[in-house]
A and B are shown apart, each in its own frame.
Chain A
Amino acid sequence: MADEPLIHARGLVKRFPARGRRGTEFTAVDGIDVDVYPGESFGFLGPNGAGKSSTMRMIGCVSPPSGGTLRILGMDPLRDGPRIRARLGVCPQQDSLDPELTVAENLTVYAGYFGIPRSVAKARAAELLEFVQLSERATDQVEPLSGGMKRRLTIARALVNEPDLVLLDEPTTGLDPQARHLVWERLFRLKQRGVTLVLTTHYMDEAEQLCDRLVVMDGGRIVAEGSPRSLIAEHSTREVLELRFANDSLDALAGKLAGIGERIEVLPDRILVYTDDGDDAAGEVHRRALAPTSVLVRRSTLEDVFLKLTGRTLVD
């Protein structure tokens, strides 16, 4: 059935028991509702510690939920873990490639874990290396590969069982900008092929580029849900005016900006003015003779949505 969700969660909770004598119980995921449908590209956006990875690990059937319902591919992760995992592709946050094997062997040996026959595994490995642009490195050791190449290899590895659902936990964290763009481009191609992607990220640009729909998480809860554009339209203005000043008492300056735009946010290093017309607002700032050292007008992003919803920035 086309409209049966691949992931169905209601009131999903993950609690970790207290560790040690003075530890306290920790609730990583605090009752979330999520549905992910076939062909979608779905994101969990939030800062570190928001509960994204814990959610992913429950979806990946390696972490039993502490409460609520969770169905993956229509099955129960507690009972059918191996059957579900056979149809998932997982790209973990922490590298688990085998440095003693070659690039191609990392795919074929991994394919063996899924019971894929050797000859099929070899053919698929060649195809996937082509896809992630690592064909020339097929017989090289993994160790000297760059971070971006390793990540692309891990993505290829996650595709070796032709999964119905691909889970990507922070797919570009720790990569330089060029490597990130290459990963994004490959993931975008997957999305175009109709592969269902679920990813976590704390980069709003990543979420905007890759996700059809996303949830914003904070403190284990979902604080907003929608497409990147609808979230921005709903929670932010069209444009943002960023002001920097030589003077460091930004709070006092914020008072003098009162009335410009719809809303003002004071960050440690700059002031954000939310408005539908940035240039107009910038003109008003000059008329008030406030003399900012730098003025930037940009469109609203998910970062602004997050700031509005939680009062904090995503990356700190």
Chain B
Amino acid sequence: MSIYVARSPWPVFYHRWRLYLNTWRGTVFSSFLLPVMFLLGLGVSVGSYVDDRVLGMPYANFIAPGVLASTAFQVAINEAAWPVLGGFKWVRTYHAMRASPLRPVDMAVGEILWIWLRAGTSAAGFLVVLTLFGIVRSPVALLTVPAVLLLAVASCTPVLAYSASIRTDNWFSFLFRFAVIPMTLFAGVFFPVEQLPLVPRWVAYASPLWHGVELCRAATLGTPTAIGWLGHAAYLALWAVVGYLLAAHRFTRRLTD
């Protein structure tokens, strides 16, 4: 099984970058303006019903790092879903790459690098907004960026494997209905998971998003984390490693006959 021997994933990254230049305007809305609207809408409206003493801070402050983490999470998953299936099935980019010295693992790693850029920039942009709102005050908040990169790789790699395994995009609605949307709603973005009943609470604990949210919240607000930042990081790293091995395997299988 494949330990990655570096060759060059950068042409794969560059291909995605070049396509992005055609479509970046749309993503400014979905990965930047939309979360800002979420923060304002929910933070102000729902926030006015929440007593600051319940969370020990204004509600908008509480959800800000959560929205940041869940935005990066969604960006990572979206980038690992349709474009990747399309690369196998519709545009056949990976088949074209396969005729070059690039190996399937280079393609998987190139996608991860690209997803890092997308998730990282969306987090960085959001961080600037939080600073302007005065929610973020300490330079420690910069640690949000590595936390988001860890969350992004932990959540995109299993999706890369998934996209390399399915034959039609109907399977994505499955992924979103049963994984992405429930995680976004229940993994501690909008309220502390301790308020959930036992079973869904443990489902939230198992999800990578919750660990990412905990790390982002600690970095931006200085709140204590549930199991220590090292524990959360280690759990995300485990997802990333297993996810990468699966993705490398599925990419190779799909491109070899």
Contacts and interface: CB of A to CB of B under 8 A. Distances in A.
A86 B100 contact: yes
A310 B213 CA distance: 68
Contacts of A83: 101
Interface of B: 7-8, 11-12, 14-15, 18-19, 22, 91-93, 95-103, 255-257
B92 A96 contact: yes
A90 interface: yes
Contacts of A94: 92, 95
B101 A113 contact: yes
A161 B93 CA distance: 17
Contacts of B99: 60, 62, 85, 88, 90, 92, 158
B222 to A, nearest CB: 44
Interface size for chain A: under 10, 10 to 19, 20 to 34, or 35 or more residues?
A: 20 to 34
Closest 4 CB pairs of A and B: A113-B100, A96-B92, A90-B99, A82-B101
B101 A100 contact: no
A101 B15 CA distance: 10
Interface string A59-78: 01011100000000000000
Contacts of A98: 15, 19, 91, 93, 96
Given A62-B257, A96-B92, 8 more contacts: A85-B100, A99-B91, A100-B22, A109-B11, A109-B14, A109-B15, A110-B96, A114-B101
Contact of A63 (B22, B91, B257): B257
A128 to B, nearest CB: 16
B22 A113 contact: no
A94 B91 CA distance: 10
A155 B8 CA distance: 25
B103 A82 contact: yes
Interface centre among A110, A113, A157 (most CB of B within 10 A): A113
Contact of A62 (B8, B14, B15, B98): B98
B256 A63 contact: yes
Nearest to B97: A113
B100 A95 contact: no
Contacts of A158: 99
A83 B7 CA distance: 12
Interface in A90-135: 90, 92, 94-101, 105, 109-110, 112-115
B96 to A, nearest CB: 4
B101 A115 contact: yes
B256 A96 contact: no
B101 A62 contact: no
B108 to A, nearest CB: 15
Given A62-B256, A113-B11, A115-B11, A96 B93 contact: yes
Nearest to A105: B18
Contacts of B95: 92, 94, 96
A122 to B, nearest CB: 14
Given A96-B91, A109-B18, A62 B255 contact: yes
Nearest to A115: B8
Contact of B7 (A82, A92, A101, A157): A82
Contacts of A157: 96
A158 B102 CA distance: 15
28 contacts: A16-B257, A63-B256, A81-B103, A82-B102, A85-B100, A86-B100, A94-B92, A94-B95, A96-B93, A96-B95, A96-B96, A97-B96, A99-B91, A101-B18, A105-B18, A109-B11, A109-B14, A109-B15, A109-B18, A112-B15, A113-B12, A113-B96, A113-B97, A113-B100, A113-B101, A114-B100, A114-B101, A158-B99
A100 B15 CA distance: 11
